[in-house]
Every structure is written in C-alpha cells, then in structure tokens.
Chain A
C-alpha cells in the first residue's frame, strides 16, 4: 500500500464525518438558494433572484458595515489587551495556574447565558456594575440608546474572549528560553525592543490563529447581541448573522440559503487567505533555517 493510499484511508473517517455534517448541508443550501420553496413538494427554480435581492438591498450592506466595524473594534481592543495580559502573567509558580484558571472562566459559560448574566450585572437596582454606574451618575441605557448598546456588546465580547487571546499568547511566550532574555539584556535592549524582536516573532503563529478565530467569531456574532437586545434599538446592532438567524426563524428557505452561501463564500476567502499567509510564513522560516 502506498503512503498516499494509507494516508487517505486514515483521514477518511474524519473527512466523511465532516462531509456529512458540513458538506451535505452546504450542498442543500446551495440548491435551495436557486429555488423558491413553498413547501417540500412545491419547489420552483428562480435562478439568482435571491442573490440579487440580498446583494441589492441596503439592509445587507448596512449589516455588513456594522459587522466589519464591530470586528475591527473587537480586534483593536482584544488583541493588544490579550498580548498585554499575557506579558503580565507570572512566569512560574502557583500564580500561573491560578491566573490561567481565572482567565479561562468566561470561556466556560454557555453562550446564551452570557448576555443574561450581563443584564443582571448591569441592573441598576442590584447589579454589581449597574449600581456603581448609576452611583457615579452614568445611566447605561443598553436597551434604547444605540451607542450604549454598542458599548455593552463590545464590553461583553471583551469579557468573553480576551482571555482566549491572552492564554494563547502566554503559551507561546512561555516557550522562549531564558538565554534569549539574558542576551537581550547584555545587548542593552529596552523593554520595547525585547518585545519587538524577541517576544513578538515567537508569538507570530499563535497570534495569527487568535486573529483568525476572533475575526470570524466576531464578524458572524449571533447569540450575544441577539440575547441582549435582538438587534435593537432601531436595528443598530443588527449584524450579518442575525439577519440570517431571522430568515431561518421565519423558515424562509430560499433567502436564508442564499445568505448562507454568500457568508460561506466569504468564510472560504478568509480561510484561503489565512492559509496563504501561513504558507508564506513557513517558506520564510525555512529560508531562515537554511
């Protein structure tokens, strides 16, 4: 048996599983996206009408703009904050375990509960943060003031996911051997130079992964803003995935399928670009090693 055959036999169970739970649904949405579905026995071919509807609607571009803005803000806050926290974590001792466990806590909360917990915390009568805010005279109106809703959604996301970035960065920082730091100190490197030329290159790959996951998850964020305010007030926190969720809830097969296809095309582009960057970096690394 050749290595190729053996390899493909070994990966086939995983591939089959993914094709069933990912591939077949994608084929289904691709099919539905070109049809008008009244019910399972009345299905009509309508070509690219759904795509035209979506791509010509203001609503799509508004949601796209909001999602891009949201992702940009999330990345701008969480990535630097995550890196900073990773640098703040102790290098050894009992503090490491305690800090890591504390940081991991938000990742363990079921996603539909996150907004519920935050609504309770922001409650002005008995919430831990809400009472303090109203005490200093700031009335956080996440229900009716768009700016405040945005602030709340971003705070929730920072609470939920910054730890992930921090934990990832910490894991790669902890693999830097101490002679690196010693020789940097001998060379008289400033703190910033140590970060720029010793620590940042080491974190490169893990940062890429954090960037990819945080970008995709925030770009197609669904549960948290939906549970907080269902896209309100006045659709000001209506993100791309929530438009889709709405169509699905109404069982609009055609339009929701067309949306799914458009989003998946976008996901493929992101995955492909990420892959390309990864390849490029690997090639650079190999050159350095030679």
Chain B
C-alpha cells in the first residue's frame, strides 16, 4: 500500500526537486537583474533605489565599457579561429589512425586541459610580454588555447567517430586526394560538430579571468576586467550588475542554439 502511494508521488517529487534547484540557481541572477535596474548611488533627479534604465544608458555612454564588450568578442572570435582548424586536423588523426605515441599525446592534452591558468600565469605574462602581445586580443586568444584546444579535439573526435570510416575509403577510390576529401566531403558533414565546438570555445573563453587579467595591463580589457575596474571608493553596484547582465546575455543566446548538444563536449573517448 505504502509502496504504491510512493510511486504515485515520485514524479511530483522529481519535478519539485528540480524546481527548487532552479530557483536556487536563479536567486542570484534575479538579484543581478534587480540591482541593475535601480539607481544605487546618489544622483541628481533620482531617489536611491528607484527603478531606472540609467545603468544601461551609462554603459552605452562610457567608451571603456563599450569597447570592453568589443574586446571580449574580438579575442573570443580569434580564439575560435585559431582553435577550430588546429583541432579539426588533430581530431581527424585521432579519430582515423592508430599511430605511434597517440596514447602519450592524449595524456599530454589531458594534462594541459586540467592545468589551472593560475599555475602558469606568471610565465605566460613574461612570454607574451617578450613577444609584445600584452594588451592585445591575440595574446588572450592564444593563451586560452591551453584549455580550449584539448576539449575541442575531444568534441570533434566524438563527432568524427560517428562518421563511418568507409566514407573515407570510397572517396579515395573515387579519386579524391586527402585534402580535397577533407574540404569537399568531410567538412560539410562535420558542421554540427564544429558548431558545438564553437559554442564551447566561446563559453570557456568568455568566463575565464586569470589569463584575461594578467595579459591586459593598461588596455584591451575584456568585460570581466572592465567590471573589476568599476570597483572603487564609491562603487556603483547598479552599473556593475548591469555590466554583469551584458556579459551573461551573449552566453545565454549561445546556450539556446546549442541546447541539444550541450553535453557533447565531455563525452570523452580515448583513441580507439
């Protein structure tokens, strides 16, 4: 008797747990929205705590904040442009061939993937300083390859493994050379995989702050660092939160498009 009544309530308990956790996730985000739409510092013509769009208007009116959004987009795009072609080539090798040293290479990529940026932030700074790449988006884009490249290789590899190897063989019999096969036939088939890879590169690169901070000293600051620089003697927390909103929105849009493949990046499979 008790058992059947429990069974009836099980779906309800499941939904309830999920809803409670999602509310827990959204509490801080609601706070951000709330604070970003009120005036939080004494201003002429405003009561503190009054509803207003002034913070968003201020972002638009401040050149450094405006350009920081552009800086973030620039380095993320550069990172994607560097990561995806390199990862495509490596993933093809891992997916199609068994070669000497593939297991060791996997270990190297794995080790770099789990190395936190803080462990090599000082030498990275020195290296890029000696290459004159401080304050430039290229520096951050290159540094972020450390974690984006291994994960891109794994994502692309899992998509490639789903394409049967016979395709490669028949098209070579048809007279395609390897580069022409890869570009004309293989790449179009990989479009969804590339899309997911782009999403993950974007996500990991967008939120990272250790490299982004150490590689931008005086200029070229990304969104996260522009927010940091807003803190001072009298912090306009409304402006800070409005800027945080601006940094979440692009990611939220990307998540919407990638929602079906969002977990693909982590279904890791070693060389087969």
B74 at the interface (CB under 8 A from A): no
Contacting pair B90 A13 (CB below 8 A)? yes
Mask of B246-272 contacts with A, CB within 8 angstroms, 1/0: 011001100110011011101111100
Contacting pair B208 A128 (CB below 8 A)? no
Segment 106-126 of A: residues with Cβ below 8 Å from B: 106-113, 116-118, 120-121
Chain A, interface size: which category?
A: 35 or more
Segment 82-101 of B: residues with Cβ below 8 Å from A: 82, 85-87, 89-90, 92-94, 97-101
Closest to B255 in A: A104
Which of B26, B111, B266 is the one whose CB lies under 8 Å from A267?
B111
Contacting pair A110 B146 (CB below 8 A)? no
B209 at the interface (CB under 8 A from A): yes
Contacting pair B244 A171 (CB below 8 A)? no
Also in contact, A105 and B25, with CB within 8 A (given A24-B127, A253-B122, A282-B270): yes
Segment 47-105 of A: residues with Cβ below 8 Å from B: 84-85, 87-89, 97, 99-105
A145 at the interface (CB under 8 A from B): no
Contacting pair B123 A213 (CB below 8 A)? no
B78 at the interface (CB under 8 A from A): no
B50 at the interface (CB under 8 A from A): no
Q: Complex: how many Å from CA A257 to CA B35? A: 41
Also in contact, A110 and B122, with CB within 8 A (given A104-B255, A275-B106): no
Also in contact, A111 and B122, with CB within 8 A (given A89-B18, A105-B248): no
A127 at the interface (CB under 8 A from B): yes
Also in contact, A129 and B127, with CB within 8 A (given A21-B145, A248-B122, A278-B270): no
Interface of A is mostly: helix
Contacting pair A22 B262 (CB below 8 A)? no
Mask of B123-158 contacts with A, CB within 8 angstroms, 1/0: 110110000000000000011011001100100000
Also in contact, A108 and B206, with CB within 8 A (given A101-B255, A101-B259): yes
Also in contact, A257 and B111, with CB within 8 A (given A17-B142, A88-B14, A222-B210): no
Most chain B C-beta atoms within 10 Å of own C-beta, residue among A26, A113, A216: A113
Contacting pair B264 A116 (CB below 8 A)? no
A46 at the interface (CB under 8 A from B): no
Across-interface contacts of B34 in A (CB, < 8 A): 128
Q: Complex: how many Å from CA A109 to CA B209? A: 11
B109 at the interface (CB under 8 A from A): yes
Q: Complex: how many Å from CA A174 to CA B97? A: 29
A159 at the interface (CB under 8 A from B): yes
Contacting pair B207 A29 (CB below 8 A)? no
Q: Complex: how many Å from CA A274 to CA B20? A: 34
Contacting pair B116 A217 (CB below 8 A)? yes
One of A134-142, A176-184, A202-210 contacting the partner: A202-210
Which of A21, A171, A270 is the one whose CB lies under 8 Å from B114?
A270
What is the minimal beta-carbon distance from B104 to any residue of chain A, in angstroms? 9
Contacting pair A163 B25 (CB below 8 A)? yes
What is the minimal beta-carbon distance from A1 to any residue of chain B, in angstroms? 9
What is the minimal beta-carbon distance from B36 to any residue of chain A, in angstroms? 10
Across-interface contacts of B98 in A (CB, < 8 A): 3
What is the minimal beta-carbon distance from A96 to any residue of chain B, in angstroms? 8
Closest to B154 in A: A209
Contacting pair B110 A21 (CB below 8 A)? no
Q: Complex: how many Å from CA A89 to CA B263? A: 14
Contacting pair A168 B244 (CB below 8 A)? no
Most chain A C-beta atoms within 10 Å of own C-beta, residue among B27, B85, B142: B27
Most chain A C-beta atoms within 10 Å of own C-beta, residue among B17, B90, B118, B150: B118
Across-interface contacts of A10 in B (CB, < 8 A): 89-90, 92-93
A238 at the interface (CB under 8 A from B): no
Across-interface contacts of B87 in A (CB, < 8 A): 14
Contacting pair B267 A127 (CB below 8 A)? no
Which of B15, B110, B255 is the one whose CB lies under 8 Å from A271?
B110
A194 at the interface (CB under 8 A from B): no
Contacting pair A257 B122 (CB below 8 A)? yes
Which of B25, B89, B207 is the one whose CB lies under 8 Å from A111?
B207
Contacting pair A17 B27 (CB below 8 A)? no
A201 at the interface (CB under 8 A from B): no
Q: Complex: how many Å from CA A18 to CA B127? A: 14
Which of A17, A26, A163, A264 is the one whose CB lies under 8 Å from B82?
A17
Name B residues whose Cβ lies closer than 8 Å to a Cβ of A: 10, 14-15, 17-18, 21-22, 24-32, 34-35, 82, 85-87, 89-90, 92-94, 97-103, 105-112, 114-116, 118-124, 126-127, 142-143, 145-146, 149-150, 153, 178, 203, 206-210, 213, 223-224, 227-228, 237, 240-241, 244, 247-248, 251-252, 255-256, 259-260, 262-264, 266-270
Besides A84-B17, A100-B262, 19 other A-B contacts (C-beta < 8 A): A6-B97, A7-B102, A8-B93, A11-B93, A15-B105, A17-B86, A21-B143, A28-B127, A32-B123, A88-B14, A104-B255, A108-B207, A109-B247, A120-B32, A168-B266, A171-B264, A191-B10, A223-B210, A248-B121
5 contacts between A and B (CB under 8 A): A8-B101, A17-B145, A109-B248, A110-B223, A248-B122
